[in-house]
Amino acid sequence: MDNIIQVKTGGKLYIAGEYAILTPGQSAIIKNIPIYMTATIKSAKEISIWSDMFAYCVGMAADSNYSLIQETITVLANFLGKEIADLSPFSLEINGELGRDGKKFGIGSSGSVTILTLKALSRFYQLDLSTDTIFKLAAYTLIKRGDNGSMGDLACIAYDNLVYFTAFDRQLVRTWIVSDDLRTVLERDWGYRISVLYPKIACDFLVGWTKQPSISNKMVNLVKSSITPSFLKVSQENVEKLSQGLLNGQKDVIKESLATSSQLLENLNPAIYTERLRQLKAAEKGLDVIAKSSGSGGGDCGIALSFKDRDSHLLVERWQKAGIELLYQEKL
């Protein structure tokens, strides 16, 4: 009987610090969303990869749909100091598309796939990689591919928790990738900070899905020219304030910080708050609730914190009337 290994990774949503986090030294707070993708890996005669996103099987011959998974495998082989041909072959199967009816949720699919593949390979080859090494290998893979994201999603997905993330200089790491070998790059201090936050507040965390997909990199390209030093300063102070509010269980501080975060996004670019995201936010009116867009905006999901059970129910009813689906809810 083959030894079959299963691993899983979830999604993520930004609580605060969107867009600012693209700048090195800036911070964001990002929440893990336990809607999972699963990888199943076992020994095989040759390397084969299958995902329910594409529903056909490939090996390591270049394939545009599977390029992210293939490049992740190549990076891991490099980490082991091996050629692909020298790896013990495996079959890797990935299930659990983070979306429905062909529409993505926007909770971190590319980050989830990269980390999921690394976790599966780490278990299969009994590498016992630390969470930090998995984060770095995933970030290395995406930066090498030319990804323009902050890598905050990877930090949250790797740690599968509520995290405070401070961004590193991706351009600098990109120059290292070009000039140095993988091990040397991994051993360097990249300058990021990841800390897990344990909030001392009783509230509901709710995710509303607009069912309108947003293209994150298009949004980033649209918005990035509006990012000013004053936007960055206010965002950083606000994220630090929110972090303290969560750790100290200060409801008013949390609500005020999230309102500021929402306002920062609204002022940054009108494309961030679509009509449906405006409705998601407006549904907080008269309730002990604070709601906002999450991530790049322009569609996908918004979030809310509710401090009364009754208000959580009312919020969800209002969302449903506006065509917004409750995707996920938990007690913080």
- What is the Cβ-side half-sphere exposure of residue 295, based on CA atoms within 13 angstroms? 30
Mean pLDDT in the chain? 95
What is the reported pLDDT for 1?
Answer: 45
What is the reported pLDDT for 2?
Answer: 65
Distance between CA atoms of residues 245 and 200, nearest Å: 9
This prediction's pTM = 0.95
Distance between CA atoms of residues 199 and 207, nearest Å: 18
Burial 134-165 (b: 16+ CB within 10 A, else e): bbbbbbbbbbbeebebbbbbbbbbbbbbbbbb
Domains and CATH numbers, the chain: 5-196 (3.30.230.10), 204-331 (3.30.70.890)
- Res. 208: pLDDT tops 70: yes
Element (H, E) at 47: none
- Res. 108: pLDDT tops 80: no
What is the reported pLDDT for 218?
Answer: 85
- Res. 102: pLDDT tops 70: yes
Distance between CA atoms of residues 163 and 81, nearest Å: 32
What is the reported pLDDT for 105?
Answer: 79
pLDDT band per the 50, 70, 90 thresholds, residue 101: confident
**What separation in angstroms does the CA of 126 have from each of 88, 122, 123, 226, 325?**
12, 6, 5, 46, 40
- Report the percent of the chain where pLDDT is more than 70: 99
What average pLDDT does the segment 200-227 reach? 91
What average pLDDT does the segment 89-113 reach? 85
Question: Judging by DSSP bridges, how do beta strands 90-95 and 48-51 pair with one another?
Answer: parallel
